[in-house]
Amino acid sequence: MTKMKAVGLHRYLPITDPESLLDLEIPKPTPQDHDLLVRVQSISVNPVDTKVRSPKDRVEEQPKILGWDVAGIVEETGPKTTLFKKGDHVFYAGSITRQGANSEYHLVDERIVGRKPKTLSFPEAAALPLTSLTAWEALFDRLGIPETGNEKTNLLIIGAAGGVGSIAIQLAKRAGLTVIGTASRPESTDWIKERGADHVINHYEEFVPQLKQIALEHVDYILCLNRTDMHWDNMAKAIKPQGKICSIYETDEKLNLYPLFNKSVTFVWELMFTRAMFQTPDMMKQHEILNKISDLIDSGILKTTVNEVLSPINAENVRKGHAMLEEGKTIGKIVLEGF
């Protein structure tokens, strides 16, 4: 049986523990049905990695492999594939219900894979899939914002300097919206403005008084990318009547929906993994979205959000990426390159 290098875990431990992520050798998989076997060139780390890895009282007999952002080369195709062939350069986020991509080779359903942007390196491309899919689905599927013609509407993005926010700003500006991002540090404020945000407010202060300072009473849409429960009251006050709020940040706290009642406000969740997790009839849409993102990158309309590249892909560097994310001060994306 052919083996391949991977980074994974058996126990769910604090990232400071050297056994929280391990260098492993595991069997190289074989593609079935709609699968592509991808030779992984670059990966990136996301908050979902740290959430899955977070300490819990469970031991995995077979190694658990994390990682849901990939840029790589198709090595082999399954019998039902029609979209890609051996040698194609691809990028994708994958499925939370399957093994992750922190390995030399990775299986992924081709229906959630896009063609890698031609103008980007593998590390630059690996920064994009999960955050681009999340931002696109949140804005255009969940909030229902038209892809163009929004010159008279505005969007507040809470936690705009992270990976999803960095893409969401660019997509929202392309769609014509006025974008207000939140930040609390000079470096994150600068990053948000460089991505195209029109205004920046502080998410540790009341939203409405800050909005009034930029001549806004309320906002049409809110995209919450950080601590839904912490920002709930501020969001309820800031959203306009009949406005829409979308959050990607799950919460253990109960949310009081009543403040949204008089305003007839819509609240909706976005989880990028839903389509693959439930094999929804529109699962192929993620393939289409990633191809659109690729075209927008290659035409110079969108820019990659990579901010740091670590090499090689090994347990030490993946632990380093997780630790940086857990500090909660990450700007843009952390990418790893090469086994």
Determine the pLDDT at residue 330: 84
Determine the pLDDT at residue 336: 98
CB 102 within 8 A of CB 6: yes
The widest CA-to-CA distance across the chain, in whole angstroms, is 65
Q: What is the pLDDT along the chain (339 residues), one digit of tens a residue?
A: 799 999 999 999 999 999 999 999 999 999 999 999 999 999 999 999 999 999 999 999 999 999 999 999 999 999 999 999 999 999 999 999 999 999 999 999 999 999 999 999 999 999 999 999 999 999 999 999 999 999 999 999 999 999 999 999 999 999 999 999 999 999 999 999 999 999 999 999 999 999 999 999 999 999 999 999 999 999 999 999 999 999 999 998 899 999 999 999 999 999 999 999 999 999 999 999 999 999 999 999 999 999 899 999 999 999 999 999 999 888 889 999 999
Determine the pLDDT at residue 218: 97
**Would you say the pTM of this structure is higher than 0.85?**
yes
- Omega cis (within 30) before 79: no
CB 101 within 8 A of CB 94: yes
C-alpha–C-alpha distance, residues 166 and 195, integer Å? 6
C-alpha–C-alpha distance, residues 227 and 208, integer Å? 18
Determine the pLDDT at residue 197: 98
Residue-wise pLDDT tens digits, 248-259:
999 988 999 999
172 Cβ neighbours under 8 A, 6+ residues apart:
139, 145, 150, 155, 157, 179
Determine the pLDDT at residue 329: 82
